[in-house]
Amino acid sequence: MTDENNQLKTTIKELLESARYNQQTQDRFYALELYFLEANSYELLIRRILTDLKRQLKLSQVELFLLDPQQETQQLISEIYGQLNYKNLIYTDSISEIKALYSGDIHLILSNEQHDIAKLGPGMSQSVALLPLRRGNHIIGSLHLGSRDQQRFHPGLGGEFLLHLGTMISVCIESSINQERYKHLSLVDLLTRAKNRRFFFQALATEIARSKRSKKPLSCLFIDIDHFKAVNDLHGHLTGDRALRCVADTIGPLLRQSDVLARFGGEEFTVMLPDCDLSHAKEIAERIRDKISHVDIANDNNQNFQLTVSIGVSYWQEDQQGFADSEAIQNHLISQADKGVYRAKEDGRNCVRVVEIVAVDNNKNPD
């Protein structure tokens, strides 16, 4: 009887420990699920999938394939965030590339076989899980997990947790892309695909704060198309729109990824140049001015004409120009660049000008 009681106690203890372990696993999963659902941007979600998931699940590799047939997602994200530099984020324009990973039928793969491990990039993985990402009946991508533990993802493992993880991540990815589309509409000029005025001011405030901390210079360009009203009057507004797009398309490749090009309004563009002193800002402005002046623009009759621009340059650095607060710095950058444009117009247009001011030291008391 004593032996039976001891055996019963042991069984109950094992059941309780198993239940406790299952509850802890379920709690961790719910926390992980909430962690992904709380990501309020595509950039943050991708970082949590590719970086944080690897750490939290103690994986050796995480790779994400996303189906993007028209490269729409890549263009959208690039216009909002620039290039996301993740080697383990792979976009593909063909479902056949994803099918090839699954050898045809797309379903959950758990394997410690070398031919499946080789489907991931170079790493130390000894077992892998390939999770199809679906929305409804459509494949949107594939999530690949690798572990150094050979038994972590063996074929006999129950895959319910991983399938649910794949479903949840699929929902998050689709939702975040839709949110970025709405964000894109509010922050990008739809005609030129440059950032809009609202985005420019948000980015400028961020860069001013960063420059104050780093003590690095910050420059701005104001670019105004010369005689643009005459373009609309002579060639029509459709050609005028084409000219605006052409100017934006010409400026973009001349900038760094960290720079911000925005359409400020009408025929005026702005460029924010982080970590760029006045000398380099003037060089960039001159390259832009020269490049635009040599671009042929076709009107509705397929006749080419050319444009010129007048550019004003402004500059600020924390240890050289003292201002009371960030708003004063912003006003300085905008007003001085705007004055530079007016000076360029006065000097005959198609030129770059800087209107410098004597810095005011706000820490000094008047005599």
pLDDT digits (tens, 9 = 90+) for 82-126: 778 889 999 999 999 999 989 878 999 999 999 999 999 888 899
Last residue of a domain, one of 155, 187, 219: 187
Other beta carbons within 10 angstroms of residue 83's beta carbon come to 9
Whether 365 is in a domain gets the answer: no
> Tens of pLDDT along 223-269?
999 999 999 999 999 999 999 999 999 999 999 988 999 999 999 99
Residue 213 and residue 257 share a domain? yes
Shared-domain flag, residues 322 and 207: yes
Phi-psi region of 136 (alpha: psi -120 to 50; beta: other; left: phi over 0): left
Q: Which of these ranges, 1-15, 33-47, 63-77, has the smallest mean pLDDT? A: 1-15
In a domain, residue 32? The reply is no
Q: Taking the CA of residue 355 as centre, how many other CA atoms within 13 Å lie in the half-sphere pointing to its CB?
A: 19
Which of the residue ranges 77-86, 167-176, 318-327 would you say has the lowest mean pLDDT? 318-327
pLDDT at residue 84 in the model: 82
Distance of CA 296 to the CA centre of its chain: 32
Residue 62: give the domain boundaries: 39-187
pLDDT band at 354 (very low <50, low <70, confident <90, very high): very high
Measured between alpha carbons, how far is 233 from 114 in angstroms, rounded to an integer? Answer: 68
Residue 359 covered by a domain: no
CA dihedral 146, 150, 155, 157 (to 10 degrees): -90
Query: Same structural domain for residues 129 and 244?
Result: no
Answer yes or no: is 22 within a domain. Answer: no
Do 179 and 218 belong together in one domain? no
**Overall domain count for the chain:** 2
- How sure is the predictor about 50, in pLDDT bands with cuts at 50, 70 and 90? very high
**Cα(309)–Cα(348) distance, integer angstroms:** 11
Is 206 a member of any domain?
yes
Q: Are 354 and 341 in contact (CB under 8 A)?
A: no
Residue 365 has a pLDDT of 44
Q: If you average pLDDT over every residue of the chain, what do you get?
A: 88
Q: How far is residue 133's CA from residue 173's CA, in Å, rounded to a whole number?
A: 9
222 versus 6: the higher-pLDDT residue is: 222
Using an 8 Å Cβ cutoff, are 248 and 193 in contact? yes
Kindly state whether residues 287 and 235 are assigned to the same domain: yes
Question: 349 near 308, Cβ under 8 Å?
Answer: yes
Question: What's the confidence (pLDDT) of residue 290?
Answer: 97
Number of other CB atoms surrounding residue 294 within 10 Å: 8
Three-class DSSP category at 326: helix
| Per-residue pLDDT, 3 | 67
264 with 136, same domain? no
Residue 159's pLDDT is 76
- Which pLDDT value is given to residue 336? 95
Domain boundary among the residues 134, 160, 187 is at 187
Within a domain: residue 366? no
Provide the whole-model pTM.
0.68
Backbone angles phi, psi at 280, to 5 degrees: -70, -35
| Backbone torsions φ then ψ of 345, nearest 5 degrees | -65, -45
Counting residues of the chain whose pLDDT is more than 90, the rounded percentage is: 64
Tell me, what amino acid is at 105?
Answer: D
| CATH code assigned at 273 | 3.30.70.270
pLDDT of residue 25: 59
Q: Does one domain contain both 210 and 325?
A: yes
What is the predicted pLDDT for the residue at 257?
85
Answer yes or no: is pLDDT of 289 > 60: yes
* Euclidean distance between CA atoms 42 and 51, whole angstroms: 14
- For residue 43, pLDDT over 80 is answered with yes
Structure tokens at 354: 């800087």
Q: Check pLDDT > 50 for residue 77.
A: yes
Q: Assess whether 111 and 183 both reside in one domain.
A: yes
For 19-32, the pLDDT digits (tens) are: 665 566 566 777 88
Phi first, then psi, for residue 139 (nearest 5°) are -80, 130
Q: Are residues 227 and 325 in the same domain?
A: yes
CATH assignment of the domain containing 160: 3.30.450
CA angle, 112 then 115 then 116, to 5°: 55
Boundary-marking domain end, from 187, 220, 254: 187
Strand ranges inside the chain, DSSP E? 61-67, 89-92, 109-111, 127-135, 138-147, 195-196, 218-225, 260-265, 268-274, 297-298, 304-305, 309-316, 352-354
Among the residue ranges 30-44, 127-141, 269-283, the one predicted with the least confidence is 30-44
Residue 313 lies in a domain: yes
Residues 173 and 206 in one domain: no
Q: For residue 25, tell me if it sits in a domain.
A: no
C-beta of residue 159 within 8 angstroms of C-beta of residue 182: no
Domain shared by 108 and 245, yes or no: no
pLDDT of residue 20: 66
Q: Quick one: 255 and 340 in the same domain?
A: yes
User: Is residue 360 scored above 50 in pLDDT?
Assistant: no
- Beta-bridged to residue 316, according to DSSP, are 218
